[in-house]
């Protein structure tokens, strides 16, 4: 394992020295702005760094469980594992799984999104430069046929998937039918709840970053803002609108890029149109970006803020995966929690407040697995693991996808119990005779069945 970690450490350095090259590839094929692309690389390299520590994190245990009986466990690699990743983070999401799988001793077949294959192609070259033998890290391109072939292949021992909920469910079910280990992360509908005591300026800034950053194309993005307190929250909403309206289209630092493709833009536009038709108010209309960028290439939809009259609007309930924020005013904490709890996803939720007791009330009632207090994108950082809540549309299969969940996922625990015959020698017998002078009170002989050391 130390030799594999040494290769990964070299790869970590190569990623750092080539980060600008990788970021440019991400901008070109994904459309993120340059700052977001650099962050994509940096966040992915954090998991690489964590993988370098696995010789200290993944060691087994040994214990004398009874007199003369030793029990130990050790981790052994699974063999070949497949990692199927989405388009939205061309470097970071593959790095959730690949480094940990490799350092644990597995060989990896990665299927990048057919929409963004170039970044990981360059990464494969860096893997070879870092010293990983050919055939250890592999890539296959394609779509449904490639995914099915990987799942069904008898040499593939485990599958990880990140993508939409319907496909995550299909992947998980197909793996389960083959008794094959799988973790499949699906979509999200993340709720932000703002209380009247929140710090307005910082909350507004964080809300805009959460729903509009990366053009809203991330499973941790905010999509519903619940304002508790009615008119008291008008100031917060006004500042959110002003900050969102100030965003400019482009891929330079501080700008907002296009969505990934035509199918994505059609879906986003349909939800905006449906909300408008149903009586919702479009406070900020991102459709204007399409008009101003017509004929210039790319699918441009600006940040969009919708004020809903009903919590049951489609845009409030469904995952849109774009820069759209649905705003619903509620009168009580319980109403806010009821809306959050009733959605079938379970990825993330956040409470904005200046009161620790208020934060505790909400974090103990949210129905999601990654929670934020004044943090609208509450992504856990290593050594904490990433994954949605079991029993929701956000997570299918086994374990989280990073951290200690990934260590467990990418290895088998082998347990060994050992007892050796006692030596049949005079010296051994003599050393095991209970000393007659070791008497307890009233002269009773003390027998030690628990192997205490240094008994007086």
- Of 185, 213, 158, 30, the closest CA to residue 96 belongs to 185
Which of 52, 83, 107, 219 is flagged as catalytic? 219
For the chain, how big is the Rg over CA atoms in Å?
A: 27
Does the annotation mark 175 as catalytic? no
If 0-12 CB within 10 Å is exposed, 13-18 middle and 19+ buried, where does residue 74 land? middle
Round to whole Å and give the CA distance between 234 and 238.
6
- Of 75, 102, 96, 79, the closest CA to residue 160 belongs to 96
Q: Any residues with CB less than 8 A from the CB of 120 and at least 6 apart, and which?
A: 90, 91, 94, 110, 112, 139
DSSP 307-337: E-S-TTSHHHHS---SSEEEEEEESSHHHHH
The neighbour count for residue 12, using CB atoms within 10 Å, is: 19
Relative to beta strand 69-77, strand 61-66 is antiparallel
Whether the ω angle into residue 383 lies within 30 degrees of 0, i.e. cis, is yes
Round to whole Å and give the CA distance between 367 and 340.
7
Question: What is the enclosing helix (H) or strand (E) of 372?
Answer: strand 370-373
- Of 235, 208, 191, 190, the closest CA to residue 302 belongs to 208
Round to whole Å and give the CA distance between 11 and 320.
36
Catalytic positions, please? 219
């Amino acid at each position: 394992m130390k030799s594999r970690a040494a290769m990964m450490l070299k790869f970590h350095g190569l990623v750092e020295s080539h980060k600008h090259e990788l970021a440019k590839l991400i901008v070109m094929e994904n459309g993120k702005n340059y700052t977001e692309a650099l962050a994509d690389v940096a966040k992915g390299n954090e998991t690489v760094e964590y993988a370098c520590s696995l010789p200290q994190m993944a060691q087994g245990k040994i214990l004398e469980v009874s007199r003369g009986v030793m029990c130990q466990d050790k981790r052994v690699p699974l063999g070949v594992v497949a990692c199927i990743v989405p388009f939205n983070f061309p470097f970071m999401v593959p790095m959730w799984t690949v480094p940990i799988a490799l350092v644990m001793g597995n060989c990896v077949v990665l299927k990048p999104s057919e929409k963004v294959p170039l970044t990981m192609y360059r990464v494969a070259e860096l893997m070879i430069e870092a010293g990983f033998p050919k055939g250890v890290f592999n890539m296959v391109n394609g779509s449904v046929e490639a995914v099915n072939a990987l799942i069904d292949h008898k040499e593939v021992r485990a599958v990880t998937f990140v993508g939409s909920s319907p496909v995550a469910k299909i992947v998980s079910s197909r793996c389960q039918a083959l008794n094959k280990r799988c973790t499949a992360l699906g979509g999200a509908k993340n709720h932000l709840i703002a209380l009247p005591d929140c710090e307005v300026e910082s909350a507004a800034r964080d809300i805009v970053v959460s729903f509009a950053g990366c053009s809203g194309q991330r499973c941790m993005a905010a999509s519903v803002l619940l304002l508790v307190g009615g008119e008291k929250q008008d100031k917060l909403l006004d500042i959110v609108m002003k900050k969102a309206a100030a965003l400019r289209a482009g891929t330079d630092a501080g700008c907002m890029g296009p969505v990934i493709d035509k199918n994505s833009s059609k879906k986003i536009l349909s939800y905006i149109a449906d909300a408008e038709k149903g009586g919702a108010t479009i406070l900020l209309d991102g459709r204007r970006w399409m008009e101003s960028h017509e004929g210039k290439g790319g699918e441009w939809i600006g940040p969009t803020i919708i004020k809903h009259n009903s919590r049951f609007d489609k845009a409030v309930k469904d995952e849109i995966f774009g820069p759209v924020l649905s705003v619903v005013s509620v009168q009580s904490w319980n109403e806010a929690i009821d809306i959050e709890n009733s959605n079938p996803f379970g990825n993330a939720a956040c409470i904005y407040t200046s009161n620790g007791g208020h934060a505790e009330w909400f974090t103990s009632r949210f129905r999601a697995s990654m929670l934020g207090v004044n943090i609208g994108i509450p992504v856990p950082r290593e050594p904490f693991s990433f994954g949605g809540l079991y029993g929701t549309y956000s997570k299918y299969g086994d374990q989280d996808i990073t951290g200690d969940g990934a260590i467990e996922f990418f290895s088998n625990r082998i347990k060994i119990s050992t007892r050796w015959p006692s030596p049949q020698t005079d010296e051994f017998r003599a050393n095991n005779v209970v000393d007659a002078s070791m008497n307890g009170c009233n002269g009773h002989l003390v027998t030690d069945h628990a192997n205490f050391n240094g008994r007086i």
